[in-house]
Each structure stands twice: as C-alpha cells, then as structure tokens.
Amino acid sequence: MTRSAISAEEKTEKLSRELEEYLESLYILTDANRTPAKTTDLAKRLGVAPPSVTEMLQKLDRENLARYSRYEGTILTERGIEIGRRMVRRHRLMERFLYDILKIRKERIHEEACQLEHDISGDAEEALCRVLKHPEECPDDREFIPPCYKDITNCVECQEKETKGQRLEGRELTPLTEMKENTRGRVTFIRGGRGAIQRLFEMGLTTGTEIEVLRHAPFNGPVEIKVRESKLVIGRGLAKKIFLA
C-alpha cells in the first residue's frame, strides 16, 4: 500500500463506531459533498435528537472531519470524505455478502451490515470484493458501491494481478457521478468487465483521458462531459463505471 492508503486505514481504526456512523451518513446525505447536510435530516437518519447531533457535528468540526454551520448545514473535509466513502463501501459490500453468500433476507441485511462494517479490515474488504466478483450495487436499495483504492485501471486487471499474486497499492478515486460541475479529472479506473471497457473505448474514454464535467442532470439523469473539445452525454449507469483522480 502507499502511505496515503495506509493512513486512511489507520484513521478509520482510530475513530469510534459513533463517529464512523456520522461520517458515513454525512457522505450519503451530502451526495458525496455536493450539497450540505441539514442537522434535522441527519437526526432523522440516525434516530438521534437534533441537539445531540449538533454536539457531534461540532466535535467533527473540531477534529477536522467536517465543516459545521448552524445555518448553512454541514459538509465533510477531505479526510472526512475519505473515511465516509470507505465506510459506505464496506457497508454495501457487507450487504452483498450477507445477501448473496449467506442468503439472509433482504429486509435484515442493512441492520446486520451496520454491525459488521466497523470490524472488517482493509484486507477483508478487498477479499469480499473479489469473492463477490466486484459488485456495483448493494442488494436492498441498489445504491452504488464506491470503488476500491487499488492502483489499477479496471476490474479485469485486478483479477489478473491477484491471480499472479501481485500486491496492489492503493490510491484515492472519485466516481464521475460524484465529480462536481466545472471540474476536471483524468480517467484512472473503469469498473466492470471487457464489455464496459470496450464500450467506453469506442466513446474515446480510456484510462488517462482528461475530461471536464459540465453538468449533472437532475433526478439521477445523465452526466454531460467535455473530452478533447467534444461534448458527450453519458447515462448514469455507464457514468458510475468511470473513476477519476
């Protein structure tokens, strides 16, 4: 692992379960930090009284995990995003494991995953992803599973390197669907098999391609991007397979 990946793991381990739950919920409610989260929404999601939520948000602010504003809402810091995304990934991978492998009923898997997500290591997280064949969505509400942190360009490469026993280093990625409008990034990872890779290749989207995010259509609509002076509109399903750094 690179130093950045190790530090992310260490930071996650040092936090209490309560703090991890708050960061996970903030990551979801802010839509990966595109909009501030309201204290009342966070209280409703966690089943906690608003004054207690305010107290915890102020603590997250002091620890440089979030930026709390009484009137404008709360957003995550870079460190908070990193940990929140990791917790969301582990929760949703665990839901897939409980449902696909252990055959637990769909209505029970969320609560079970909430208990287990705090106790798995980075190695266990990677193993879950491999065993589950790199899933894209959790089973109960079909929410998107954030990507791994490995220094690879696609899931096929991951499988090939794991077969050869190669240790893969980590790095931070951002899904195209979570990139803010009017920002740029370079395609670094494509999730999925050879079919998805070929489809994106035909659109001129290969690893290393620099793109500019122009617009996110409302109601989970397509994403409009600019590639080499050309504009493309990519459906949400395909956009979720593209990750940038």
The DSSP-derived string for 78-134 is HHHHHHHHHHHHHHHHHHHIIIIIS---HHHHHHHHHHHTTT--HHHHHHHHHHTTS
In terms of CATH architecture, what is 174-244?
A: Roll (2.30)
Same fold for the pair 1-146 and 174-244: no
- Give the pLDDT of residue 164: 47
Each residue's pLDDT tens digit, 180-206: 899 999 998 888 777 778 888 888 888
- Residue of 144 and 40 predicted with greater confidence: 40
Question: H or E stretch including 235?
Answer: none
As a dihedral over the C-alpha atoms of residue 2, residue 84, residue 211, residue 224, rounded to 10 degrees, the angle is: 160
The whole-number pLDDT of residue 167 equals 43
For residue 74, pLDDT beyond 70: yes
Q: Token pair 């899904």 is at which residue? A: 175
Contact 23, 56 (CB under 8 A): no
Contact 176, 223 (CB under 8 A): yes
Residue 2: its pLDDT value, please? 36
Let me know if domain 1-146 sits in CATH 1.10.3720.10.
Answer: no
For the chain, what are the domain ranges?
A: 1-146, 174-244
Partners of residue 186 on adjacent β-strands = 210
pLDDT of residue 238: 87
From the list 154, 238, 233, the residue with the least C-alpha distance to 189 is 154
Question: What are 100-117's pLDDT values in tens digits?
Answer: 999 999 999 999 999 999
- C-alpha distance from residue 50 to each of 28, 64, 89, 189, 200 (Å): 18, 21, 27, 39, 45
Residue 16: DSSP 8-state: -
Span 208-232, mean pLDDT? Answer: 91
Phi-psi group of 43: left, alpha or beta (phi > 0 → left; psi -120 to 50 → alpha; rest → beta)? alpha
Which is more confident, 153 or 98? 98
